Amino acid sequence: MTLILSEEDVEGLLDMDEVVGVVEEAFRRKGQGEAENFMRTRTRGASSVLNVMHASMPYLGRAGVKAYLSSKAGAKFVVILFDTADSAPLAVIAADMLGRFRTGAASAVATKHLYRKTSAAVAIFGSGKQALTQILALGSVMSVEEVRVWSPNERSRGAFAQTLGQKGFAARAFDSPERALGGAQVATAITSAHAPFLDGGMLRDVSHANICGANVPTHAEISTDAVASFQTVAVDDLAQAKFEYGELMRAAEAGRFSWDSAVELGEVVAGRRQPEGRTLFKSGGVAIEDVAVASKLYELAKTEGKFQDVKIL
């Protein structure tokens, strides 16, 4: 039997502390060579793009594939989870909310292991549907003293600051990226920007940055000189980064960054690499995150026992 979980089901089951924990373990296992991630591939149609990514997690006895189609109607996400012992399709899971949580969790894991301090004022750039889970996740690994919000739309950034306040965070909206960065030790960008809006001078006082919005070569949130200003540059998956992460690709082409100096987050979490100086985490989203969270959702749903099972094979 195969479990079917809707977006509503997933939202009811997700807990950020649990998600951060399973994502952290997924990166640790990847760093130890105990989880296999395969980079995203894209198939382009006349007016749509099919995106597919998959991973095998032997320590869980699970493997899975995430697929999503982007079109003028938006994007729709699904994860299929398999049992590696008997090849059974365990679950088909709606994965929009799952993706928001796992993306936030990846930033939290990176901040925990790269920033390595227990509190910070945080500047966040972006106020869309991915922004809230960034802050919720950071709040699960450190004390967030203040959230300083900027996004291009005044009404959106004000509403987002208000939402954060309702969630218990001290939050303020600012009318420029520079002002939002004032006094922030940690910065997170989660926008749809095509061109860099943060440069090295603007980020000079930031100890750690999570750059999460762009996963196509033509988009970037930070400039080449900003990339070059960080002593440690970590990525979620190096093979994927070389094909997708526009900020790092541009910096490498300009001779301001070397792929040989990049570290994978999993290596840091596993204790095999140590960060130095100011740190940058470039996140594009990887399948080990999706499969780890999907596996946890499957376990939680089976324990509750109230969700739909169907026989599809």
Mean pLDDT score, 55-70: 98
pLDDT tens profile 14-27: 999 999 999 999 99
- Average pLDDT on 246-263 reads 97
pLDDT at 201: 97
Give the count of alpha carbons within 13 A of 253, CB side only: 11
Q: How confident is the model at residue 19, as a pLDDT?
A: 98
Q: Are 51 and 41 in contact (CB under 8 A)?
A: yes
Q: Provide the pLDDT confidence category of residue 40 given band limits of 50, 70 and 90.
A: very high
pLDDT of 308 = 86
Q: Which residues fall within 8 angstroms of residue 260, CB to CB, at 6 or more apart?
A: none
Q: What is the pLDDT of residue 14?
A: 97
What are the tokens at 124?
């966040």
Pairing of strands 119-125, 171-173: unpaired
Q: What does the block give as tokens for 234?
A: 């970590």
Q: Is the pLDDT of residue 305 over 90?
A: no
pLDDT tops 90 at residue 84 = yes
How much is the pLDDT for 214? 83
Look at strands 232-235 and 208-211 and give their pairing.
unpaired
Question: Which CATH architecture is the domain 2-99+288-310 placed in?
Answer: 2-Layer Sandwich (3.30)
* pLDDT higher than threshold 90 for residue 92: yes
What CATH number has the domain spanning 104-285? Answer: 3.40.50.720
Whole-number Å distance between alpha carbons of 270 and 5: 32
User: Distances in Å between the alpha carbon of 9 and those of 24, 87, 92?
Assistant: 23, 24, 12
Q: What is the dihedral of CA 271, 276, 281, 286, to 10 degrees?
A: -20
* Length of the chain measured in residues: 313
Closest to 64 in 3D by CA, of 307, 297, 255, 308: 297
What value does the mean pLDDT take over residues 57-83?
A: 97
Count of CB atoms situated within 10 Å of the CB of 74: 8
Q: Note whether 93 and 10 are within 8 A (CB).
A: yes
2 pLDDT higher than 90: yes
For the chain, give every residue range classified as CATH 3.40.50.720. Answer: 104-285
Alpha-carbon distance 95 to 300, whole Å? 16
Q: Would you state the pLDDT for residue 313?
A: 86
pTM above 0.95?
A: yes
Mean pLDDT, rounded, for 28-54: 97
Please name the residue that has the structure tokens 């990525």. 235
The band of 306, judged by pLDDT with boundaries at 50, 70 and 90, is confident
Q: 94-124 pLDDT, tens per residue?
A: 999 999 999 999 999 999 999 999 999 999 9
**How many other CB atoms are there within 10 angstroms of residue 300's CB atom?**
18
113 token code pair: 């292991």
Q: How confident is the model at residue 153 (pLDDT cuts 50, 70, 90)?
A: very high
Within the chain, which residue ranges are assigned CATH 3.30.1780.10? 2-99+288-310
Q: Per-residue confidence at 86, pLDDT binned at 50, 70, 90?
A: very high
| For helices 131-141 and 16-31, angle between their N-to-C axes, nearest 10 degrees | 80
**244 and 40 in contact (C-beta within 8 Å)?**
yes
158-200 pLDDT, tens per residue? 999 999 999 999 999 999 999 999 999 999 999 999 999 999 9
Interval 262-277 mean pLDDT = 98
User: What distance lies between CA 49 and its chain's CA centroid?
Assistant: 20
pLDDT at 274: 97
